[in-house]
Homo-oligomer: A and B are copies of this chain.
Amino acid sequence: MLTAKFLLGRRRGELSSEELQSLEATVSRVAAFKPGETIVRAGEPLTRSNFLLNGLVSRNIDNQDGQRQIVGLHVAGDFVDLHGFPLGKLDHDVVALCPVELAYVPHEALTRITVTHPHLTRLLWFSTMIDAAIHREWVFRNSCLSAVKRMANFFCEMNRRLEFIGLSDGKGFTLALTQVDLGDACGLTSVHVNRVLRELRERELMLFKGGGVTILDRKALESFGEFDPAYLYGDGTVPARG
């Protein structure tokens, strides 16, 4: 089951096996991308969306100086650019941050699902709405929090999201990012990221070393980073079937 991780930990049990099969049937083929490769370019007309099987993928917007802003980050089980299905094209680039495997899902197949499977359609819609909620948290984080808190908050999010799909045990995980990437995501320079990571270490909240994250005091880290996981909708609130 390629799409087995879809909505894992969020709407567990909400997908009937028939729905899961219909979703699985939309996959046309699997493809691999190398670190730094662009998967989707802003503005190009789209005929498929990409379901992330493993690895890390970012959504980038560049400014006039060529400075890259990461506006979103995706992990295994995420329907990376399902946004491109209603939109027809994207406003940003989608780039692999490490070796990545994707399942291609043609838009035709998705259109058919909207006709034959309204409940599954609402779940797909739901998953894009979680992306939007995550975007809002990123606006909040990068607009309203100090550099140290931003970083703390960011790692709390990744911890939870990786926990959902079984890639974190809550105490540590691997995250194939450089300090430059962290800066691009949190609106900081890599130099300042370095200083901030030292502070988190000195506060004995967490460690980051070469893509390896160790959470030393999760509760303290979450409270320090002003992290409230409600926006990840991990508690499985259920919309009516029909």
Write the residues of chain A forming the contact surface with B, with a CB cutoff of 8 angstroms. 42-43, 45, 59, 61, 63-64, 67, 69, 71-72, 83, 85-89, 91-92, 107, 111-112, 114-115, 118, 121-123, 125-126, 128-133, 135-140, 142-145, 186-187, 226, 230-231, 233, 237-240, 242
Contact = CB atoms under 8 A, between A and B. Distances in A.
Among A71, A144, A226, A231, chain B packs the most CB atoms within 10 A around the CB of: A144
Nearest to A72: B136
Given A69-B140, A133-B91, A42 B128 contact: no
Contacts of A142: 139, 142-143, 187
A242 B111 contact: yes
Contact of A132 (B114, B132, B145): B132
A10 to B, nearest CB: 11
Contacts of A139: 61, 69, 71-72, 135, 138-139, 142
Contacts of A144: 61, 63, 67, 69, 187
A238 B118 contact: no
List 5 tightest A-B contacts by C-beta distance, closest first. Answer: A143-B187, A135-B135, A91-B231, A86-B126, A132-B132
A136 B60 CA distance: 9
B121 A69 contact: no
B240 A111 contact: yes
Contacts of A145: 63
A237 B91 CA distance: 13
Contacts of A131: 132
A88 B238 contact: yes
A117 to B, nearest CB: 10
A18 to B, nearest CB: 16
Contact of A86 (B64, B85, B239): B239
A215 to B, nearest CB: 20
A143 B69 contact: yes
A178 to B, nearest CB: 17
Nearest to A82: B129
A240 to B, nearest CB: 6
